[in-house]
Amino acid sequence: MTEVPPEGWAAALAGLPGMGPARLRAVLGVWAPEEAWAHIAAGSGCSRPVVALTCRPDPAGTAALWRVAARKVSVAGTWDAHQRAGVAVSLPGGPGFPAELHLDLEPPAIVFSRGDTAALDGRRVAIVGTRRCTRYGRDVAFELGRDLASSGIRVVSGLALGVDGAAHRGALASCGAPPVAVVGSGLDVVYPPAHRALWEQVAGAGLLLSEAPLGARPEPWRFPVRNRVIAALAEVVVVVESAEKGGSRHTVEAAMVRDRVVMAVPGSVRSPVSSYTNGLLADGCHPVRDALDVLVALGLSTVPQAPADLRPEPGPEEAPVLEALAWEPATFDDLCARSGHSPGQISVGLARLQAGGWVVERAGWWERAT
Amino acid sequence: MIATIPSATLLGVEGTPVAVEVHVSNGLPCFTVVGLPDASCRESRDRVRAALLSSGLPWSLKRVTVNLAPSSVRKGGAGLDLPIAVGLLVASDQLEAEAVAGCGFIGELGLDGSIRRVPGIVPLVAALSTRVVVVPPDCFTEASVVGRHKVRVAGTLTELLAALRGDAPWPDPPAAAPVPPEPASLPDLADVRGQAVGRTAVEVAAAGGHHLLLSGPPGAGKTMLARRLPGLLPPLEGDDALTATRIHSAAAVALPPGGLVVRPPFRAPHHGASAVALIGGGTGYMRPGEISLSHCGVLFMDEMCEFPAAVLDALRQPIEEGVVRVCRARATVSFPARFLLVGATNPCPCGEGGSGTGACRCPQAARQRYNRRLSGPLLDRFDLRVLVSRPDAASVMGGPPGEGSAPVAARVAAARELALERGVRCNAELPASGLDALAPLTSGASRVLEHRLRSGLLSARGVHRIRRVARTIADLGGLSGPVDEAHVCLALSLRAELAPAEAAA
């Protein structure tokens, strides 16, 4: 049997139930990893007050839980699995541990990564937002990701549905700077499952990071914890769309505590998924209209100019339809009601605008194309 | 002695003639019914005996055999009580054979000798080829619908016997219920405020017989629009009215005061309906389902995504063929089922959805599961798929009332006339091969369709459906020439992709 290095013992510790970063930090603060494992396997995991403090309200119960879980784990097996899967395990101060995280307020006690850690070397911007975004949000996230990556900025996000995924797609589409994804589950547990292909592409072109060992389920508590890592890694956090109670709030609060710049994409005041971002703007955050705004915030200011608009000008019949559509999604019925024109007139206008690339339809909803 | 009395039994919605043969001879007293009677039919033995005794007629202590010919067909129901009783009276010499010559009998007997109604009088009477038919008094209007027979009524066995013997005149048929002055006032389209698109869709559906799917949040007015659709359809005529009446009669659904079903039926089954309730069938006696009851009318399925998926998919074949063949071990029955399907559904379980505004609270998986209830092939059969929005406050509170049903119904009738001239009932039935001749496209119209085809937004079959709808829209405008760009554009706008393959977010 091969000798298990300290990283292997720490990886096994991170896989214990309820072992979040704060507890793991406390455990590894008082013992070396191998020694810590021995204590936990013996049921005395919470014998030190520093550890017991993080395990309130029931340190004894937690220690018992860990003891039972530890019996079923083969540390050497866990370590072998990480080696085989090509997942690098880094402890603070060790090789491959991101320097920014080492100095963080709540530094991770362990980091698992796939891909090239060199992807972190450079300017980094986080693009975050709701999973339930509108087409507007998705398009803006995609364009920001694309334009920032092609300007050499590393796009950091969480690989979730909606805004996160769109930002990564944009970064990949530009073939520019490598994308960085911080995920809440083990690096072999693809969540959401729909993003399996994207997950592989990001690992291939950039870097996947996690605080959870292989096999860890995407438990709800892991996501706010993950969001703090995103905030810690980024210089600027851009919120594209988020409802008042969305998960982006955690990222923004974590970013503010760490003195990162928070910027927000303005949205319609009627759109529920823009309520939080518009609130941020009202509170004094800088608005993001395009990648240039972010580059200015970073102290850079070069961005490739967008190509000229080649679409045909809307004719006299189409213009009122485009005007009625405004900038939020609408149904055919809404358009008729807003413009006061008959369905026949509106339908002709929509067909021509669609042919000209001005509007798109999805599931019966019409939106302006950009 | 032997007597043969003509009667009929019900098979699906069609009547089958039955000859009731009664043979009375010497032997051990007994009473047997042969010729494949079902349970309720076999029980007629006891009802007939009690009815005869209560009417003061003697019960002969002889050997009685009743045969229901043809004996290969299964007979159900109590409608054969009356012919059996009459046959018995003739065979036992209590009634002259001449007195019943040329008479057919249908009716159930009560133990007190009264004659009661049975379901399916219209098809039963239609199956009889005798000159006179005798039916229970409250079936008079139904029986008269067929029109080929002299219809006689009798309330009790005693009355019937007196009339047949010539001792008393035939009892008068019950006075027809006064026809209500307004034809059962249907909801009017003028009540619908705003909803320009929904109104257009309902009008096009009525004119062209295009199946319509309304999708929208709760309270948007989907049900309100659907309920106004029958008022736009022209009244049923000729064979259609008779077929609809036969189906309603066979299913024991109350017929309108005039007897004949002339208003296009409107059926709205609850989403708990089983496949058999919708399609038709049953074990002992095959009953037409909701789709047949809405023959020539409207089948409205509210909350369509709440129907079990298997029930919905059972609709696919009848929608294509206009008939449904129900096969059971004992018999196979065809029910007519040419209906206009109107579905109403919420865009997602919480109702606020559509992915447009982000107001939807449903998890994506729940939304997809909800939308999967409507299978692709079923969704494809809806030529009109419309998103209905809640009308804005101004048009609900103060706006001018919309156009009433009467002018719209006139346009619909004119459009249906144009379809009849093309040799189809409505434009939804136009054959794909005839579209180039019957619905030619102007160059502008074909440009629009070509663009859609090339960008992959429309399939080749979708083009045929769009062209039929565009034909209807042109007909509603009174234009029977080529279909132009505006018609095609409107047809395209009225056929939204409602359940898209959810784009990877």
pLDDT value, residue B179: 60
Tens digit of each residue's pLDDT (9 = 90 or more) over B85-133: 999 999 999 999 999 999 999 999 999 999 998 888 999 999 999 999 9
Q: Which two tokens stand for residue B366?
A: 């729940």
pLDDT value, residue B504: 33
User: How many domains does the structure of chain B reveal?
Assistant: 2
Does one domain contain both B319 and B415? Answer: yes
| Extended strands (E) in chain A | 88-90, 111-115, 124-128, 154-157, 180-183, 207-210, 236-239, 261-264, 286-287, 330-331, 359-362, 365-368
Average pLDDT over chain B, rounded to an integer: 86
Q: Which of B388, B489, B490 sits opposite A333 (nearest CB)?
A: B388
- Asked whether residue B182 is domain-assigned, the answer is no
Q: Which of A243, A271, A348 sits opposite B485 (nearest CB)?
A: A348
In this complex, do A343 and B198 lie within 8 Å of one another by their Cβ atoms? Answer: no
Task: Quote the minimal CA–CA distance from B453 to chain A in Å.
Answer: 12
Which one of B488, B490, B498 would you mutate to disrupt binding with A, by most A Cβ within 10 Å of its Cβ?
B490
Q: Residue B434 is part of a domain; what is its CATH number? A: 3.40.50.300
Using CA atoms, how far apart are residues B13 and A201, in angstroms rounded to an integer?
Answer: 63
Chain B CA closest to residue A162: B505
Does one domain contain both B380 and B460? Answer: yes
Burial class (CB in 10 A: 0-12, 13-18, 19+), A338: middle
Q: Mean pLDDT, to the nearest integer, of A107-131?
A: 91
Using CA atoms, how far apart are residues B141 and A174, in angstroms rounded to an integer?
Answer: 79
Query: Which positions 123-142 of A are in contact with B (Cβ < 8 Å)?
Result: 130-135, 137-138
In this complex, do B358 and A132 lie within 8 Å of one another by their Cβ atoms? Answer: yes
Q: CA separation (Å) from A365 to A300, B28, B453?
A: 38, 82, 20
Q: Mean pLDDT, to the nearest integer, of B1-5?
A: 90
Does one domain contain both B143 and B194? Answer: no
In this complex, do B389 and A241 lie within 8 Å of one another by their Cβ atoms? Answer: no
pLDDT higher than threshold 80 for residue A80:
yes
- Asked whether residue B431 is domain-assigned, the answer is yes
For residue B75, what is the DSSP state?
B
pLDDT higher than threshold 90 for residue A49:
no
Using CA atoms, how far apart are residues B499 and B22, in angstroms rounded to an integer?
Answer: 63
Q: How many CB atoms lie within 10 A of CB B71?
A: 13
Query: Among candidates A208, A157, A196, A210, which has minimal Cα distance to A15?
Result: A210
- Chain A CB contacts of B385 under 8 Å are 364
pLDDT higher than threshold 70 for residue A111:
yes
Q: What CATH code would you report for A319-368?
A: 1.10.10.10
- Chain A CB contacts of B364 under 8 Å are 131-132, 161
Q: Mean pLDDT, to the nearest integer, of B338-359?
A: 79
Does one domain contain both B136 and B196? Answer: no
Does one domain contain both B104 and B198? Answer: no
User: How does residue B503 score in pLDDT terms, banded at 50, 70 and 90?
Assistant: very low
Q: Which of A165, A329, A337 sits opposite B357 (nearest CB)?
A: A329
Using CA atoms, how far apart are residues B222 and A187, in angstroms rounded to an integer?
Answer: 47
User: HSE-up of A13 (CA within 13 Å, CB side)?
Assistant: 33
Tens digit of each residue's pLDDT (9 = 90 or more) over B387-406: 888 877 777 777 677 788 88
Using CA atoms, how far apart are residues A350 and B496, in angstroms rounded to an integer?
Answer: 13
Strand pairing of B287-288 and B280-281?
antiparallel
Does one domain contain both B481 and B412? Answer: yes
pLDDT higher than threshold 90 for residue B213:
yes
Q: How many CB pairs under 8 A join A and B?
A: 131
HEC states along A111-175? EEEEECHHHHCCCEEEEECCCCCCHHHHHHHHHHHHHHHHCCCEEEECCCCCHHHHHHHHHHHHC
Q: Which of A131, A355, A361 sits opposite B451 (nearest CB)?
A: A355
- Chain B CB contacts of A137 under 8 Å are 358
pLDDT value, residue B502: 42
| Vertex B120 angle, CA B119 and B122, to 5° | 135
Does one domain contain both B415 and B450? Answer: yes
| Extended strands (E) in B307-374 | 323-327, 332-336, 340-345
In this complex, do A348 and B489 lie within 8 Å of one another by their Cβ atoms? Answer: yes
Q: Which of A132, A243, A351 sits opposite B492 (nearest CB)?
A: A351
Using CA atoms, how far apart are residues A308 and A354, in angstroms rounded to an integer?
Answer: 19
Using CA atoms, how far apart are residues A235 and A238, in angstroms rounded to an integer?
Answer: 10
The class level of CATH for A114-297 reads alpha beta
- Chain B CB contacts of A330 under 8 Å are 356
Query: Which positions 161-220 of A are in contact with B (Cβ < 8 Å)?
Result: 161-162, 165-166, 194-195, 198
In this complex, do A132 and B360 lie within 8 Å of one another by their Cβ atoms? Answer: yes
Q: Mean pLDDT, to the nearest integer, of A38-66?
A: 85
In this complex, do A362 and B497 lie within 8 Å of one another by their Cβ atoms? Answer: yes
- Chain A CB contacts of B360 under 8 Å are 132
The amino acid present at B300, given as its one-letter code, is F
In this complex, do B490 and A361 lie within 8 Å of one another by their Cβ atoms? Answer: no
Tens digit of each residue's pLDDT (9 = 90 or more) over B145-159: 888 899 999 999 999
Kind and range of the H or E element at B387?
A: strand B384-387
Task: Quote the minimal CA–CA distance from A165 to chain B in Å.
Answer: 7
pLDDT value, residue B357: 62
Does one domain contain both B104 and B237? Answer: no
- Chain B CB contacts of A133 under 8 Å are 358, 505
Q: Mean pLDDT, to the nearest integer, of B324-342?
A: 87
Task: Quote the minimal CA–CA distance from B500 to chain A in Å.
Answer: 6
Q: Which of B197, B358, B385 sits opposite A336 (nearest CB)?
A: B197
- Asked whether residue B214 is domain-assigned, the answer is yes
pLDDT value, residue B501: 42
Does one domain contain both B386 and B259? Answer: yes
Task: Quote the minimal CA–CA distance from B347 to chain A in Å.
Answer: 9
- Chain A CB contacts of B472 under 8 Å are none
In this complex, do B504 and A342 lie within 8 Å of one another by their Cβ atoms? Answer: no
Does one domain contain both B384 and B416? Answer: yes
Does one domain contain both B291 and B335? Answer: yes
More confident residue, B351 or B378: B378
Using CA atoms, how far apart are residues A323 and B322, in angstroms rounded to an integer?
Answer: 45
Tens digit of each residue's pLDDT (9 = 90 or more) over B439-471: 888 888 888 888 888 887 788 888 898 999 999
pLDDT value, residue A363: 77
Average pLDDT over chain A, rounded to an integer: 88
Does one domain contain both B238 and B117? Answer: no
- Asked whether residue B503 is domain-assigned, the answer is no
Chain A CA closest to residue B499: A363
- Chain B CB contacts of A131 under 8 Å are 364, 505
Task: Quote the minimal CA–CA distance from A336 to chain B in Å.
Answer: 7
pLDDT value, residue A52: 84
pLDDT value, residue B73: 84
Using CA atoms, how far apart are residues B369 and B372, in angstroms rounded to an integer?
Answer: 5
Q: Residue B148 is part of a domain; what is its CATH number? A: 3.30.230.10
What residue numbers bound the domain in which B282 lies?
Answer: 189-392+399-493
pLDDT value, residue A125: 95
Quick one: CA dihedral B232, B234, B240, B243, positive or negative? Answer: positive
In this complex, do A342 and B360 lie within 8 Å of one another by their Cβ atoms? Answer: no
Task: Quote the minimal CA–CA distance from B258 to chain A in Å.
Answer: 40
Q: Which of B489, B499, B505 sits opposite A165 (nearest CB)?
A: B505
- Chain B CB contacts of A343 under 8 Å are 196-197, 200, 490, 493-494
pLDDT value, residue B12: 82
Task: Quote the minimal CA–CA distance from A134 to chain B in Å.
Answer: 6
pLDDT value, residue A256: 92
Which one of B202, B350, B352, B387 would you mutate to disrupt binding with A, by most A Cβ within 10 Å of its Cβ?
B387
pLDDT higher than threshold 50 for residue A54:
yes
- Asked whether residue B498 is domain-assigned, the answer is no
In this complex, do B195 and A333 lie within 8 Å of one another by their Cβ atoms? Answer: yes
pLDDT value, residue B91: 92
Predicted-complex ipTM score: 0.70
Q: Mean pLDDT, to the nearest integer, of A144-149?
A: 93
User: HSE-up of A90 (CA within 13 Å, CB side)?
Assistant: 20
Sheet order of strands, A359-362 included: A330-331, A365-368, A359-362
